[in-house]
């Protein structure tokens, strides 16, 4: 709409007769009337189609309801016009002088143009209304906003900005993805961060909003506002607002985007020089530079997040009108005002506009806004005082728009002239300077403040009173808060609340936007002691009224709406068995305030008489605790070493065991049970940590203080003394001549003298004199002193005057080893300078160096790096570093980067840690290599961890280097190093050549042999195995196994088909071949150095010298978290939850090859095979030498078969062949199959383990259901650890189809529980309950899952759900199971209550009585057990059943009772027998 159109519309409508207030009509009628009135003139030809509303015959297209509404509206307008003159005459006679004065200034025409000033209420608020508000509080998921006229609303987190909502949705999607995959980068984490509302908004901030929904009174489904006791939050539920700029700014005209125009915008993206903003205006984007953002103190020093909502002011528009440069400077936002607009849609709530006073009314002002539009100002938003003294007709003012009055034609606005709204600040009480210097309303008048005299200044007959509290401070009293009686209406001229009367009132809240106090004059409110929790004082003794008693607490009303709670352990000084007899609803109770928590709005009381009547001071905060103070406290936890007590306001203290009593106590938990009141004396207070140390022993009135005066002893003094007592780890010394008792550590003295602690303890004698002691600590309150030996040597080693700036690279310095850390030895160089000596920097030859020098030893090292910020040096004791000008033999080069490491190169290092999946070897500073289990040995070794320890020197070959991930893979295996030599090609072979090989595959027709040193394979037909034509070649084939080493002769080579024929007949070889082969083996291995642990003569000494402190070994288990390398999931060990041992037994084969092995593994061959062949000459049990002695070949192979068969009964399988042989004999054994799977997992062969499981399921007989189930469970465990969610789900479904479905469902949930995937376990239990809701076991296991996770409330909710699904006959069983879970994992009192209900309704269920008794016996409460036995034996039962109960009772008395109780049981049994005999 253009300016001229706007003017013409206003003039036309102002000259017409004023319209009366519209009645509420149907929405369809509103749309039709507006379309008719707003339709522009058109050509005559078009009018023909528009005449449907005026047909001939007087008909109409309106419905009867619409016609009736139109007639009613016309009749009301006529009546208003007809009786207007009469009403004006009556007003003239009755109006006041002030009204007469105002009436004289306005003529009759003006009077008819005045607009009635109306208050905003919930009925007048409608969706689509734009409104201005002030943030009261910021909740996690919503904003609570104060609106004009004492109203409140809320803004859900999804109605802030479009960008914030999008980020919330993306975060939800990312969380779903993260559950499927844990892999993520830092950038992803940064993008997924969504700012909290407290980061975007602050209380007191003004916002422009649009109403999105209005809920009926009492609605509780507000988004973002949960259940709360706060009255303001409850009131805010009715109106739901939106701050989204697209909704608020959609009608702003581009022509109005001039300098100074203010509106709301959201951060859309962050660019190089500033922020791109979403203005919400079509085809217009905003830009805010970083420099401009810094001008607002609220945004200084921080980056604005995407989705943040900003209040901005236009600086300039681009030439194309698409980009608007804005500013956030506070002064511009506050002072910018509008004097003209081209479109009414540009008048937003919160905009400061120029106005002209057109009428002064008793209820407020009428204004003309920006020359075109009408507006009203109610008296709540006018400056305090007489309205006629502040404003005159025609006066120009600046007011801020509050909301648009809807529906209104032409548009009208409600505005505010209140100082705090115009200046966009919170209401303050006037101070010495101006209103902003004083405190805020909250601080000046806290809730609960009683005001002795408030003056009524304005009366609204149906709403309430406006009262004057002080200068420039007013309050509002709602009509319901004027009296305890019902008040239908208020009068300004008469009655107790007329204008000018003085009353007492009490502050009950605030209306921040209006700047008013919320007051109450009701006598019941004035007489209340507390209005809110914050007013309650800790330690105050008061009387309350019992409101309700539950199983878990007692609720007490202490004043008005303020309730308090008393926990069961504070019901009395002793434990009450029947609290319901003492606490009855409505009864009075005397108690003391124990805890006040204003944030949670909770008050905790105690009814313990010893605390209520205690004359001792109250300790409610750490500042109240003074050393030496005696007071009462309550025990809340006891252990074998200490007693933990609690003061007021949850302040806790610790009483050491030795301070618990003067006499020896057997068990502290028994002597000091939870809930016991004790008298303590405060020994020490640490205000920083909040730790209080107390004593029960010293609080006794008979205690005599033995604290000595140690004022003559100062820290740092050199003293001497005489040994008074030699203890386990310290010495008590009497210092001379002060006679002060001091303690000296035996470790300290032993290090000083260079002996062990045991030797030192045996040499010390009482009365022996010790000199050169230094005071290191003193405690005057406790009267003890700690001393240590004077460190003479340490002073001489450390260089004086050494600073971090004076040290140069390459400089040789001296220091002392302080301690051992993960990265090496920490060396003290100067007073504030330390150095780090890495194990690889200790020497040029690692075999001669100590990776960790002795603690306390002096070292001389060269500086190779300086960190001035941390004041730390990197040191090296290599001779090549300390003496670079000399010729030094370097055996182990420095590894400073990954570039010097190449695949295939050999390198030495020290073992950093031994993990579950292998070793980590440190090769240099910050450079570690991983050695997987499969790369440790050539053969399988089960107990491999015992072969390695931290700080061992090892040698290995580099397999791969990944510079990007900084990952290095290393191996100790020797088999691949041999293969790394020159490879044999097929062209190198000729007929008659004799080669070494390994059996790779066995078929019915022969053997496939891989030639050593190549990847060539040849076939040895079964006819080429033996010279004896009558021999059984099938038996000969069976004697071979995959992985056997053989010597073969090349029979033929087919180059075209690339086929090689081999022969193994003994006649093909002679003794010379074997001898030459052995010589070659010896020569080839003579120069080869073994990989793995480097053995040397001083290995034992080095292990002792290089041993680190105890903490080092514990930390090494998690070393993979520090070395920066990813861990393969394949190498993680898994427990497949089989009833028996899963992993195979350790191999008896010797790693160094000195003993022959009878079982070769398919994982590789031993590099020391030559020694095994030598040993084979003296042993007939070796099969590696069957080629070397062809004459005895057949005999020896038969012997091998016999040995293997006999040995398998006592030796665990160690290879695939072993497992296959065992499975041939026991194909239905799930134990063997699962062992086989575990064997493959230890070799990181996950796929092979899966294949074995599938083979097992096909092989095991279908009748062996349990065996098959065991394999399925093992496969589920495997997929849970190594597989994906998809593979696990597929396996689970297959298992459920092939086995009992309920069993598989429950085992799946248990697997998730064992692997600590609690969310998945909960989901699985829900699936199981949905499918098998008729099973009691399913519900009880689900409840047990919740209890073990610490979610008792969720577990208890399952009981009523289960009873709805289960058959009635299973109800009692299920209820009993839940009660047992309460006893074991939940609340024993709740379990007791459930059992009481069971035995009350089913007194003849002896089995449930027995379970009830067992549960109580487990609690150790013999009195309760006796009570139950007396009750059950009072029932009529058979003598056989009574005998079992008496027997059980007697057993429990002997176990948890006493002899007296046991004798009484015997007497009762006799009495019962006699009574039963008499009755029969």
Q: Which structure tokens are listed for 1307?
A: 């085992």
Residue 1240: the pLDDT is 80
Q: What is the mean pLDDT of residues 1002-1007?
A: 88
Q: pLDDT tier at 327 (50, 70, 90 boundaries)? A: very high
User: Would you state the torsion angle of the CA atoms of residues 442, 443, 448, 453, taken in this order, to the nearest 10 degrees?
Assistant: -100
- Range list of H helices, 1124-1261: 1169-1176, 1193-1207, 1216-1225, 1230-1242, 1246-1259
Q: What is the mean pLDDT of residues 846-859?
A: 84
Residue 530: the pLDDT is 67
Rounded to an integer, what distance in angstroms lies between the CA atom of residue 1309 and that of residue 368? Answer: 72
Residue 922: the pLDDT is 93
Q: What is the mean pLDDT of residues 571-590?
A: 85
**Contact call for residues 106 and 96 (beta carbons, < 8 A):** no
Q: What is the mean pLDDT of residues 1121-1132?
A: 34
Q: 987 pLDDT exceeds 90?
A: no
Residue 1012: the pLDDT is 82
Q: 20 pLDDT exceeds 60?
A: no
- In 3D space, the residue among 986, 825, 958 whose CA is nearest the CA of residue 899 turns out to be 958
Q: Lowest-pLDDT range, 75-84, 916-925, 1086-1095, 1114-1123? A: 1114-1123
DSSP label at 440?
Answer: B
Residue 889: the pLDDT is 82
Rounded to an integer, what distance in angstroms lies between the CA atom of residue 247 and that of residue 127? Answer: 12
Q: pLDDT exceeding 90 applies to what percent of the chain?
A: 11
Q: 1427 pLDDT exceeds 60?
A: yes
Residue 1041: the pLDDT is 82
pLDDT tens digits, one per residue of 1008-1019? 998 887 778 899
Backbone dihedral region for residue 628 (phi beyond 0: left; psi -120 to 50: alpha; all else: beta) = left
Q: What is the mean pLDDT of residues 807-817?
A: 87
Q: What is the mean pLDDT of residues 1219-1234?
A: 80
Q: What is the mean pLDDT of residues 13-19?
A: 39
Q: Lowest-pLDDT range, 787-796, 813-822, 1267-1276? A: 787-796
| CA-to-CA separations, 204 to 146, 263, 957, 1000, 1422, in angstroms, rounded | 9, 18, 68, 81, 61
Q: 1131 pLDDT exceeds 60?
A: no
Q: 1171 pLDDT exceeds 70?
A: no
Q: Lowest-pLDDT range, 1153-1162, 1218-1227, 1349-1358? A: 1153-1162
Q: pLDDT exceeding 70 applies to what percent of the chain?
A: 77
DSSP label at 1146?
Answer: P
Q: Lowest-pLDDT range, 58-67, 118-127, 357-366, 890-899? A: 58-67
pLDDT tens digits, one per residue of 527-539? 777 666 667 778 8
**Contact call for residues 868 and 805 (beta carbons, < 8 A):** yes
Q: What is the mean pLDDT of residues 551-579?
A: 84
Q: What is the mean pLDDT of residues 683-688?
A: 86
Residue 211: the pLDDT is 92
Q: What is the sign of the dihedral through the CA atoms of 1064, 1070, 1074 and 1080?
A: negative
**SS3 of 653, please?**
strand
Q: Which structure tokens are listed for 683?
A: 């020994």
Residue 144: the pLDDT is 92
Q: Which structure tokens are listed for 386?
A: 């007489």
Q: Whole-angstrom distance between the N-terminal and C-terminal Cα of the chain?
A: 108
DSSP label at 920?
Answer: E
Residue 965: the pLDDT is 85
Residue 1260: the pLDDT is 87
Q: 7 pLDDT exceeds 50?
A: no
Residue 192: the pLDDT is 54
Q: pLDDT tier at 792 (50, 70, 90 boundaries)? A: low
Q: What is the mean pLDDT of residues 820-837?
A: 87
Q: 592 pLDDT exceeds 50?
A: yes
Q: Lowest-pLDDT range, 391-400, 1091-1100, 1230-1239? A: 1091-1100
Residue 645: the pLDDT is 92
Strands 473-478 and 516-520: parallel
Q: pLDDT tier at 132 (50, 70, 90 boundaries)? A: very high
Q: 1218 pLDDT exceeds 70?
A: yes
Residue that the structure tokens 């575990």 belong to: 1238
Higher pLDDT, 222 or 1116: 222
Q: pLDDT tier at 1073 (50, 70, 90 boundaries)? A: low
Q: 336 pLDDT exceeds 60?
A: yes
Q: Lowest-pLDDT range, 95-104, 135-144, 489-498, 506-515? A: 95-104
Q: 544 pLDDT exceeds 60?
A: yes
Q: Which residues on neighbouring strands pair with residue 239, listed in sequence order? A: 214
Q: What is the mean pLDDT of residues 1024-1035?
A: 76
Rounded to an integer, what distance in angstroms lies between the CA atom of residue 1215 and that of residue 1158? Answer: 11
**pLDDT, averaged across the chain:** 77
Rounded to an integer, what distance in angstroms lies between the CA atom of residue 66 and that of residue 71? Answer: 9
Q: Which residues on neighbouring strands pair with residue 731, listed in sequence order? A: 726, 744
Q: Lowest-pLDDT range, 396-405, 406-415, 455-464, 543-552? A: 406-415
Residue 244: the pLDDT is 93
Q: pLDDT tier at 956 (50, 70, 90 boundaries)? A: very high
Q: What is the mean pLDDT of residues 318-324?
A: 87
Task: Produce one character per residue of 1093-1127: b if its CB has 16 or more CB atoms within 10 Å, e if not.
Answer: beeeeeeeebeeebbbeeebeeebeebbeebebeb
Rounded to an integer, what distance in angstroms lies between the CA atom of residue 64 and that of residue 47? Answer: 25
Higher pLDDT, 17 or 634: 634
Residue 610: the pLDDT is 86
Residue that the structure tokens 């940590």 belong to: 689
Rounded to an integer, what distance in angstroms lies between the CA atom of residue 731 and that of residue 744? Answer: 5
pLDDT tens digits, one per residue of 210-260? 999 988 876 665 665 655 556 777 777 789 999 999 999 888 888 888 888
pLDDT tens digits, one per residue of 1254-1301? 888 888 887 888 888 888 888 888 888 888 888 888 888 888 888 888
Q: pLDDT tier at 276 (50, 70, 90 boundaries)? A: very high
Q: What is the mean pLDDT of residues 373-382?
A: 88
Q: 794 pLDDT exceeds 60?
A: no
Residue 1034: the pLDDT is 76
pLDDT tens digits, one per residue of 1306-1357? 888 888 888 888 888 888 888 888 888 888 888 888 888 888 888 888 888 8
Q: What is the sign of the dihedral through the CA atoms of 359, 365, 369 and 373?
A: negative
Q: pLDDT tier at 653 (50, 70, 90 boundaries)? A: very high
């Amino acid at each position: 709409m253009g300016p001229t159109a706007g003017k013409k519309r206003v003039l036309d409508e102002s000259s017409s007769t004023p319209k009366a207030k519209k009645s509420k009509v149907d929405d369809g009628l509103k749309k039709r009337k507006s379309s008719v009135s707003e339709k522009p003139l058109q050509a005559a030809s078009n009018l023909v189609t528009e005449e449907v509303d005026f047909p001939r015959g007087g008909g109409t297209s309106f419905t009867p309801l619409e016609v009736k509404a139109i007639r009613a509206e016309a009749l009301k307008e006529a009546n208003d016009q007809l009786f207007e003159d009469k009403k004006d005459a009556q007003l003239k006679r009755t109006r006041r002088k002030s009204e007469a004065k105002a009436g004289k200034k306005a003529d009759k025409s003006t009077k008819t143009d005045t607009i009635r000033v109306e208050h905003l209420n919930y009925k007048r608020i409608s969706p689509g209304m734009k409104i201005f508000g002030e943030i009261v509080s910021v909740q996690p998921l919503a904003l609570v906003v104060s609106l004009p006229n004492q109203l409140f609303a809320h803004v859900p987190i999804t109605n802030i900005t479009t960008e914030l909502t999008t980020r919330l949705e993306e975060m939800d999607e990312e969380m779903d993805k993260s559950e499927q995959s844990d892999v993520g980068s830092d950038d992803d984490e940064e993008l997924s961060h969504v700012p909290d509302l407290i980061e975007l908004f602050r209380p007191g901030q003004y916002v422009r909003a649009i109403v999105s929904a209005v809920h009926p009174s009492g609605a509780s489904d507000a988004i973002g506002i949960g259940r709360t006791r706060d009255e303001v939050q409850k009131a805010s539920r009715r109106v739901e607002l939106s701050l989204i700029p697209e909704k608020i700014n959609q009608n702003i005209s581009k022509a109005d985007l001039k300098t100074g125009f203010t509106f709301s915008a959201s951060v859309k993206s962050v660019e190089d020089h500033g922020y791109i903003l979403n203005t919400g205006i079509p085809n217009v984007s905003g830009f805010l530079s970083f420099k401009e953002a810094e001008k607002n103190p609220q945004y200084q020093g921080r980056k604005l997040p995407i989705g943040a909502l900003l209040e901005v002011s236009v600086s300039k528009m681009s030439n194309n009108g698409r980009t608007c440069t804005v500013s956030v400077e506070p002064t511009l936002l506050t002072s910018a005002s509008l004097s003209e607009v081209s479109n009414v849609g540009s008048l937003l709530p919160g905009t400061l506009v120029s106005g002209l006073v057109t009428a002064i009314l008793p209820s407020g002002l009428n204004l003309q806004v920006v020359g075109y539009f009408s507006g009203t100002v109610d008296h709540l938003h006018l400056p305090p005082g007489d309205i006629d003294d502040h404003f005159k007709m025609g006066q120009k003012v600046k007011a801020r728009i509050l909301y648009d009055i809807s529906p209104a034609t032409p548009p009208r606005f409600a505005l505010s002239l209140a100082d705090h709204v115009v200046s966009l600040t919170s209401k303050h009480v006037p101070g010495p300077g101006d209103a902003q210097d004083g405190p805020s309303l909250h601080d000046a008048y806290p809730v609960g403040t009683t005001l002795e005299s408030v003056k009524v200044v304005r009366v609204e007959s149906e709403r309430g009173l406006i009262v004057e509290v002080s200068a420039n401070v007013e309050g509002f009293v709602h009509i319901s808060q004027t009296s305890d009686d019902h008040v239908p209406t208020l009068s300004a001229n008469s009655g107790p609340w007329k204008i000018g009367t003085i009353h007492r009132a009490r502050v009950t809240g605030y209306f921040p936007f209006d700047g008013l106090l919320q007051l109450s004059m009701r006598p019941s409110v004035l007489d209340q002691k507390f209005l809110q929790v914050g007013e309650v004082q800790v330690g105050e003794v008061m009387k309350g009224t019992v409101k309700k008693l539950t199983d878990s607490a007692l609720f007490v009303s202490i004043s008005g709406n303020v309730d308090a709670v008393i926990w069961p352990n504070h019901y009395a000084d002793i434990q009450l068995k029947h609290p319901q007899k003492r606490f009855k609803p409505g009864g009075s109770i005397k108690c003391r305030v124990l805890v006040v928590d204003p944030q949670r709005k909770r008050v905790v009381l105690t009814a313990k008489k010893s605390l209520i009547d205690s004359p001792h001071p109250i300790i409610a905060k750490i500042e109240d605790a003074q050393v030496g103070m005696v007071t009462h406290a309550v025990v809340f936890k006891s252990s074998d070493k200490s007693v933990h007590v609690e003061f007021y306001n949850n302040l806790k203290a610790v009483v050491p065991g030795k301070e618990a009593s003067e006499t020896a106590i057997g068990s502290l938990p028994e002597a000091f049970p939870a809930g016991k009141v004790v008298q303590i004396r405060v020994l020490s207070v640490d205000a920083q940590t909040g730790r209080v140390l107390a004593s029960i022993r010293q609080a006794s009135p008979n205690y005599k203080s033995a604290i000595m005066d140690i004022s003559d002893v100062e820290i740092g003094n050199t003293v001497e003394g005489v040994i008074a007592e030699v203890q386990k780890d310290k010495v008590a010394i009497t210092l001379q001549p002060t006679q002060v008792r001091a303690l000296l550590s035996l470790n300290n003295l032993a290090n000083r003298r260079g002996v062990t602690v045991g030797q030192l303890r045996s040499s010390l004698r009482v009365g022996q004199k010790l000199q050169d002691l230094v005071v290191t600590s003193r405690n005057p309150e406790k009267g003890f002193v700690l001393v240590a030996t004077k460190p003479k040597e340490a002073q001489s080693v450390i260089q004086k005057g050494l600073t971090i700036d004076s040290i140069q690279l390459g400089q040789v310095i001296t220091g002392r080893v302080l301690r051992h850390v993960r990265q090496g030895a920490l060396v003290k160089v100067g007073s504030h300078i330390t150095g780090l000596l890495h194990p690889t920097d200790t020497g040029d030859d690692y075999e001669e160096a100590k990776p960790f020098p002795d603690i306390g030893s002096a070292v001389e090292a060269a500086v190779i790096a300086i960190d001035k910020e941390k004041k730390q040096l990197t040191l090296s004791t290599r001779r090549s570093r300390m003496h670079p000008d000399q010729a030094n033999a370097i055996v182990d080069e420095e590894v400073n980067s990954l570039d010097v490491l190449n695949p295939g190169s050999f390198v030495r290092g020290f073992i950093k840690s031994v993990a579950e999946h292998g070793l980590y070897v440190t090769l240099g500073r910050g450079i570690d290599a991983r050695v997987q289990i499969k790369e440790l040995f050539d053969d399988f070794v089960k107990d491999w961890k015992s072969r390695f320890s931290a700080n061992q020197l090892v040698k290995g070959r580099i397999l791969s280097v990944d510079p990007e991930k900084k990952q290095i893979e290393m191996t100790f295996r020797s088999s691949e190093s041999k293969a790394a030599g020159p490879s044999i090609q097929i062209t190198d072979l000729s007929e008659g050549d004799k080669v070494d090989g390994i059996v790779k595959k066995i078929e019915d027709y022969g053997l496939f042999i891989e030639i050593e040193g190549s990847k060539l394979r040849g076939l040895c037909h079964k006819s080429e195995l033996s010279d004896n034509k009558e021999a059984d070649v099938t038996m000969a084939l069976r004697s071979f196994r995959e992985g056997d080493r053989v010597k073969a002769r090349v029979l033929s080579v087919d180059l075209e088909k690339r086929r090689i024929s081999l022969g193994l007949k003994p006649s093909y070889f002679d003794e010379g071949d074997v001898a030459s082969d052995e010589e070659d083996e010896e020569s080839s291995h003579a120069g080869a150095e073994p990989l793995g642990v480097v053995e040397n003569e001083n290995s034992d000494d080095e292990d002792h010298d290089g041993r680190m402190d105890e903490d080092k070994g514990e930390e090494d288990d998690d070393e993979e978290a520090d070395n920066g390398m990813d861990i393969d999931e394949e190498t993680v060990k898994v427990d497949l939850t089989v009833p028996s041992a899963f992993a195979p037994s350790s191999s008896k084969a010797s790693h160094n090859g000195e003993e022959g092995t009878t079982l070769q593994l398919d994982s590789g061959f031993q590099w020391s095979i030559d020694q095994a062949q030598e040993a084979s000459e003296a042993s007939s049990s070796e099969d590696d030498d069957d080629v070397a002695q062809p004459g005895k070949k057949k005999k020896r192979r038969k012997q091998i078969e016999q040995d293997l068969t006999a040995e398998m009964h006592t030796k665990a399988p160690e290879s695939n062949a072993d497992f296959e042989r065992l499975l041939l004999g026991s194909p239905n054994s799930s134990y063997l199959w699962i062992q086989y799977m575990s064997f493959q997992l230890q070799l990181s062969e996950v796929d092979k383990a899966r294949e074995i499981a599938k083979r097992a399921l096909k092989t095991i007989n279908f009748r062996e259901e349990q065996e098959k189930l065991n394999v399925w469970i093992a496969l589920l465990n495997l997929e849970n650890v190594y597989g994906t969610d998809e593979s696990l789900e597929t396996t689970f479904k297959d298992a459920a189809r092939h086995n009992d479905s309920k069993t598989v469902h429950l085992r799946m949930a248990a697997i998730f529980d064992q692997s600590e995937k609690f969310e998945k376990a909960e989901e699985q239990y829900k699936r199981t309950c949905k499918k098998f809701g008729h099973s009691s076991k399913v519900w009880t296991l689900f409840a047990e899952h919740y209890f073990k996770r610490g979610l008792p409330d969720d577990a208890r909710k399952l009981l009523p759900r289960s009873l709805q699904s289960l058959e009635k006959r299973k109800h009692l069983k299920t209820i009993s199971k839940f009660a047992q879970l309460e006893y074991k994992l939940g609340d024993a009192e709740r379990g007791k209550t459930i059992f009481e209900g069971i035995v009350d309704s089913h007194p003849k269920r002896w089995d449930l009585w027995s379970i009830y008794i067992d549960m109580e016996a487990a609690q150790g409460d013999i009195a309760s057990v006796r009570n139950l036995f007396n009750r059950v034996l009072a029932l009529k039962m058979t003598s056989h059943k009574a005998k079992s109960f008496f027997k059980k009772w007697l057993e429990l008395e002997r176990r948890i009772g006493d002899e007296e109780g046991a004798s009484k049981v015997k007497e009762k049994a006799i009495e019962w027998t006699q009574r039963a005999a008499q009755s029969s």
